[in-house]
Amino acid sequence: MEDLPSKHNFEEVIKRRGTDAKKHNVYPEDIIPMGIAETDFKCPQPIIDAMVNRAEHGIYGYPLNSTSFNQAVIKWQGERFEWEIEEEWVEFAPAIVTALVTAIQAFTHPGDKVVIQTPVYHPFHSIVTNNGRIKAVNQLILKDGKYLIDFEDLEYRLKDPRTKLMLLCNPHNPVGRVYTREELLKIGELCLKHNVIVASDEIHSDLVYSGHKHIPFPTLSEELQQISLVFINPSKTFNLAGLRTAAVITPNRFLRETYRERVLSNRVDGRTVFGTLPFEIAYNECGYYADQIVEYLEQNVNYLLKYFEEKIPAIKVIQPEATYLIWLDCRDLRMTQEALNRFMLEQAKLGLNDGILFGEEGRGFMRMNIGCRRAVLEDALQRIENAVNELS
């Protein structure tokens, strides 16, 4: 008889305060932390068991760079996204942001331009400018509650001869878009035309809601496979961010070798015993968890959408197509950004992310992380409702 698939308990109450959790410990006890992009769920049991077992061995010397790491990526991408990957395309990285920095250094020179689509995950801004490159900002357009790409402006940015690289965030943090095949093809067509390499950060690709489909960028066409790199990390799905282990997938040999040269010169190739092990188990054994977390989160999203619509209409929710990061349009509250931040923290007692962190387009917005138990979400929404009602 086959084993029944494991069932993860996303309702388990787990105390995180006092466990050196940045997400929780930056706030006093009376604030619900809904900022930093990680869930409050325990990771899959097979990972915990394997880590405990490995810990008991008691010797933690330098680990081998085993190809089982590459094989885990091949299995996951093949089974979940129908992407057939070859072993040599996969490279370890300590984290996606580190890998994106490596890509910026490998494929651009100081003074070159790098396209980002704003509002966007805040390190996309700083890793460009901190490395002496220039941001070429393609603002997303908010139309009827949905963020769309301004392709005319995108082409204007890409055709600048100083533009060498585009950092794509798909699914997009914080606006929750899962770009369609048509949109991705159009981005690809423009990047091909203007000789721009695409670095596609797909960290949120497992957390996609009904009616949407994640398409790994290089699978769009043979030509686009030759100009792109994909960055993945099981951390968002399985709550492993503190273990610092990600992967970069690069089908094109020239890009791969250029990227790898920079990895070696920066010496960012060292793996860790407790990073590689959970990474591989997540991708090899924990598909059940990825399915169940999406189901749980989707119920959280639906609950939240209905709640805001019925009880807090002054705040508009940008409906997420993926991720547990919710982009709240608070502009109708007519507060300065400083007042909005204070309002959420001091009146609603919630630790949210300031929208401006993601770019100037985030003025009037806040980002809310709902990777938590339903009861916590209910409490948080009630707090916002009460605080908004007190305003009038």
Q: Which stretch binds ligand PLP (CB under 6 A): 61-69, 91-99, 313-321, 338-346?
A: 91-99
Residue placing its CB nearer to ligand PLP in the complex, 124 or 343: 124
Q: Tell me 331's DSSP state.
A: G
Residue placing its CB nearer to ligand PLP in the complex, 225 or 239: 239
Pick the binder of ligand PLP from 103, 169, 191, 380 (CB under 6 A). Answer: 169
Pick the binder of ligand PLP from 32, 34, 90, 95 (CB under 6 A). Answer: 95
Contacting ligand PLP within 323-382 (CB under 6 A): none
d(C-alpha 90, C-alpha 280), whole Å: 13
Closest residue by Cα to residue 27 from 352, 371, 325 = 352
Q: Is 37 in the site for ligand PLP (CB under 6 A)?
A: yes
Write out the two tokens for 164: 């060498």
For residues 278, 11, 209, 318, the Cα torsion angle rounded to the nearest 10 degrees is -110
Min separation Cβ 42 and ligand PLP, Å: 19
Min separation Cβ 290 and ligand PLP, Å: 17
Q: Which stretch binds ligand PLP (CB under 6 A): 8-16, 92-100, 251-259, 356-364?
A: 92-100
d(C-alpha 154, C-alpha 306), whole Å: 34
Q: Is 73 in the site for ligand PLP (CB under 6 A)?
A: no
Q: Which stretch binds ligand PLP (CB under 6 A): 94-102, 103-111, 139-147, 184-192?
A: 94-102
Q: Is 241 in the site for ligand PLP (CB under 6 A)?
A: yes
For 342, phi then psi, to 5°, come to -65, -40
Residue placing its CB nearer to ligand PLP in the complex, 185 or 357: 357
Pick the binder of ligand PLP from 43, 85, 97, 330 (CB under 6 A). Answer: 97
Total residues in contact with ligand PLP, by rule CB under 6 A: 13
Site string for ligand PLP, 199-238 (x = CB under 6 A): --x-x-----------------------------x-x---
Angstrom CA distances, 205 to 98, 143, 324, stand at 19, 24, 12
Residue placing its CB nearer to ligand PLP in the complex, 40 or 201: 201
Residue placing its CB nearer to ligand PLP in the complex, 63 or 123: 123
Which residues partner with 90 through β-bridges?
249
Residue placing its CB nearer to ligand PLP in the complex, 44 or 174: 174
Q: Is the peptide bond before 44 cis (omega within 30 degrees of 0)?
A: no
Write out the two tokens for 180: 């369609």
Write out the two tokens for 112: 């070159």
Q: Where are the beta strands (DSSP E) in 158-310?
A: 163-169, 197-201, 228-232, 246-249
Q: Is 175 in the site for ligand PLP (CB under 6 A)?
A: no
Pick the binder of ligand PLP from 70, 173, 200, 369 (CB under 6 A). Answer: 173
Tell me the residue type at 273.
V
Write out the two tokens for 260: 């790898």
Min separation Cβ 339 and ligand PLP, Å: 26
Instruction: Give the CA diameter of the chain.
Output: 62
Q: Where are the beta strands (DSSP E) in the chain?
A: 32-33, 90-93, 113-118, 134-139, 141-143, 146-148, 163-169, 197-201, 228-232, 246-249, 316-318, 325-329, 350-351, 353-354, 365-369
Min separation Cβ 201 and ligand PLP, Å: 5
Min separation Cβ 109 and ligand PLP, Å: 24
Write out the two tokens for 326: 């919710």
Write out the two tokens for 111: 């003074």
Write out the two tokens for 267: 């010496």
Pick the binder of ligand PLP from 32, 43, 72, 96 (CB under 6 A). Answer: 96
Min separation Cβ 233 and ligand PLP, Å: 4
**Residues at the contact surface with ligand PLP, assessed by CB under 6 A:** 37, 95-97, 121, 169, 173, 201, 203, 233, 235, 241, 246
